Structure formats: structure tokens, C-alpha cells
């Protein structure tokens, strides 16, 4: 069986690494390859900090194809990916195309495959924010509509698909990112170098990330978030996404003394900072889950989240970009007494592969 795995952004590298390692493990236990995986990197995240380092750390096989699409407006970027991916799929003739999450790479991969009548597996299917202004929401909705196998991290995701009439090929698998976090935790040294480099101590700082278009493309929202950071009476470590960095430079932002701006980090370093943080402020879906698994309080800088279970269990608070709400949430957060398991039991990758092998094409 041949599978084309299409990835292009950091969250997809993390998820794909888990399943790729499991495929390698399965193949090593058999005299012949059970699954021939061909990795295609669209180049959506293309620099060393956003791409190359992650491949090495996560032990992902080098992509057979790097399309080097780069950045651009959504339509332009997705269109270039679609053209390039169609050529790869026609050449490789895979049995399945595997896509992850909700990026432009996800949508382009799903569209290219369905036009060529190649069945699609969508990992992290069924997530909904019900905010159609988010490009991620459009990408995930459309990818789900054309997928043959839909791997959902929760019952909520399954219910979302059912409301849209999608019931066939739907499976609750849990979330592969749980395995990624465990993989990273096992690699973290007892005295992490990154903490010493930044001059911070465990549980004596907050960690912040801001990268979503709704916050970075709206100068008023971003200014409110940054104003909140400067008002909070704690050290805040802020790894800056390239998109956010450009806007900060354009607005000539000068960070206050309590905010430490740093470049994007590798996966092990960001997990280290998450694990040792007193609290996390983020607009990232992946970091919301990581915070939950690491038992670190999370303030989400959005009005809604796809990971509603983290909110209902009290470990995540939604504030949007409202300065007063952000400051108030940081000051008033109380650690919940309970921490129920969410998003699987840590064997999601094995379950996903089994379902692919069992499926009739």
C-alpha cells in the first residue's frame, strides 16, 4: 500500500511524525513493507526555524518532494499547491492521500486527491469553531466533505460531522499530538538549557504565542494583546512567529521590560517552556491541548475554540483580544481540582494505521 502524506506547517510536522514513526515500526516488523509512505512538503512553512529543525528533531524522514511554494495570499498559495500536488499524485499513483489539520496544505491536498479520485484520510477531522471568517475553518470543512476516512479526536468532533450529514468512515481515534508530547517529554533534560539561556526559572514566567491571522492581521487586536502583556505583573516569554514579527517591525513595537521576545523554537524547546510555565497565553489550537496534557493553565486569545473540552474542564479560558479580559483571566485563574483524560489514550497512531489497512478502497 502506498500513502502520500501531505504536510506544510509546523503543527502538521508534529502530527505526521507520530504516524510516520509508527509506519516505520510496522514495516520493520515485517519482511516486506506494509506501507510505502511518500512524504510531500508543500513548503508552506519553509525556513529553517519553521521547517528544517522540526524534521530533524521529530525524526521525520526527509520529504521525497519539497514543493517550495512559500508564502502568499490564500488563493495564490493554495492554487500553486494544487497545481504542484496534482503532478506529484499523477506520478506516484498512491492508494491513499493523508492530510492533517486545517491549513492551506490540507485543503490543496484534499482537492488535488479528490479530483484524481484518490481516497483521502483526514487526521483531526470534525473540528469546528463555527467562525467562517477563519481560513482554517473553511479548510477543515471542505477537507472533511471529500474525505473517505475521518479520524476524530473526540466525540464532539464526531457530532459536528453528523450535523453536516457526514457519518460514513468516521472514527474516534483520539489525538496523535498526545504521543508527540510524550515523545518530546522523554527528550527533555532534567535541567533544560533554554531556561538558563533566557534567565528564567520553572513556574516563574508566562509563555505567550500569537500567530493566527485574526490576531496578526488586525492591528487593533494585536495592539490590545500586546498592551495586556505589558500590563501583566510577570515575565512573559514570547516566541515570535515570522508573520507577527513583520507586523511588530512595521509598527515599531518596543517590548516592555517584562516581555522577552525570542525567535521561533524547536519542538523540544517549546514543550520545555510550556511544561515549566506558570501559565500559557496563546491563540494556537495545538498549544491549548499541549497545555492541558502538561497540566498548565491556558488563556486562549480567541473568542472561540475547537477544543471545547479544555474549556469545559476548567483548564482553558477564552478572552479574545480584550485587554481587560486577558489581564483579569491571568489574575483570577484557579487551578481545577480534576484533570480527566482527553483526546485518547496515547495509541492514536496505531489505531489510525489499523483503520487505513482495514478500509476498502
Indicate which residues carry an active-site annotation: 211
Decide if 102 contacts 123 (C-beta within 8 A): no
- 3-state SS of 37-78 is EEEEECCCCCCHHHHHHHHHHCCCCCCCEECCCCCCCHHHHH
Q: Which are the contacts of 286, defined by CB distance < 8 A and separation ≥ 6?
A: 11, 14, 177
β-sheet with 259-262: strand ranges across: 259-262, 236-239, 206-209, 279-282, 298-300, 316-318
Decide if 54 contacts 10 (C-beta within 8 A): yes
As a whole number of angstroms, the distance between CA 320 and CA 300 comes to 7
As a whole number of angstroms, the distance between CA 269 and CA 194 comes to 7
Query: Residue-wise over 244-253: b if at least 16 C-beta within 10 A, else e?
Result: beebbeeeeb
Provide the 8-state DSSP code for 305. Answer: -
Q: Which are the contacts of 360, defined by CB distance < 8 A and separation ≥ 6?
A: none
Amino acid at each position: 500500500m502506498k500513502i502520500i502524506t501531505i504536510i506544510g506547517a509546523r503543527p502538521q510536522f508534529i502530527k505526521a511524525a507520530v504516524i510516520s514513526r509508527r509506519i516505520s515500526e510496522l514495516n520493520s516488523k515485517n519482511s516486506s513493507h506494509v506501507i510505502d509512505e511518500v512524504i510531500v512538503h508543500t513548503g508552506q512553512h519553509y525556513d529553517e526555524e519553521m521547517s528544517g529543525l522540526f524534521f530533524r528533531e521529530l525524526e521525520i524522514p526527509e520529504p521525497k518532494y519539497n514543493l517550495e511554494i512559500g508564502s502568499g495570499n490564500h488563493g495564490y498559495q493554495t492554487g500553486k499547491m494544487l497545481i504542484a500536488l496534482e503532478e506529484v499524485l499523477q506520478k506516484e499513483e498512491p492508494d491513499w492521500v493523508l492530510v492533517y489539520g486545517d491549513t492551506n496544505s490540507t485543503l490543496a491536498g484534499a482537492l488535488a486527491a479528490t479530483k484524481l479520485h484518490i481516497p483521502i484520510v483526514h487526521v483531526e477531522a470534525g473540528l469546528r469553531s463555527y467562525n467562517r471568517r477563519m481560513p482554517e475553518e473553511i479548510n477543515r470543512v471542505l477537507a472533511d466533505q471529500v474525505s473517505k476516512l475521518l479520524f476524530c479526536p473526540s466525540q464532539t468532533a464526531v457530532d459536528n460531522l453528523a450535523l453536516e450529514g457526514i457519518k460514513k468512515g468516521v472514527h474516534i481515534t483520539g489525538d496523535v499530538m498526545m504521543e508527540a508530547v510524550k515523545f518530546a517529554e522523554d527528550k527533555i533534560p532534567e535541567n533544560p538549557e533554554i531556561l538558563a539561556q533566557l534567565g528564567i526559572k520553572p513556574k516563574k514566567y508566562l509563555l505567550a504565542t500569537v500567530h493566527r491571522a485574526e490576531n496578526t492581521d488586525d492591528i487593533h487586536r494585536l495592539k490590545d494583546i500586546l498592551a495586556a502583556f505589558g500590563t501583566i505583573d510577570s515575565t512573559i516569554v514570547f516566541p515570535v512567529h515570522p508573520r507577527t514579527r513583520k507586523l511588530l517591525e512595521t509598527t515599531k513595537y518596543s517590548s516592555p521590560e517584562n516581555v522577552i521576545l525570542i525567535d521561533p523554537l524547536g519542538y523540544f524547546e517549546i514543550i520545555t517552556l510550556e511544561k515549566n510555565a506558570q501559565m500559557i497565553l496563546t491563540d494556537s489550537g495545538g498549544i491549548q491541548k499541549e497545555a492541558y496534557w502538561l497540566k498548565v493553565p491556558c488563556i486562549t486569545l480567541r473568542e472561540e475554540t475547537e477544543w471545547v473540552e479544555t474549556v469545559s474542564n476548567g483548564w482553558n479560558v477564552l478572552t479574545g483580544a480584550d485587554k481587560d479580559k486577558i489581564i483579569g483571566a491571568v489574575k483570577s485563574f484557579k487551578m481545577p481540582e480534576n484533570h480527566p483524560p482527553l483526546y485518547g489514550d496515547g495509541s492514536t497512531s496505531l489505531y489510525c494505521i489499523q483503520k487505513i489497512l482495514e478500509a476498502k478502497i
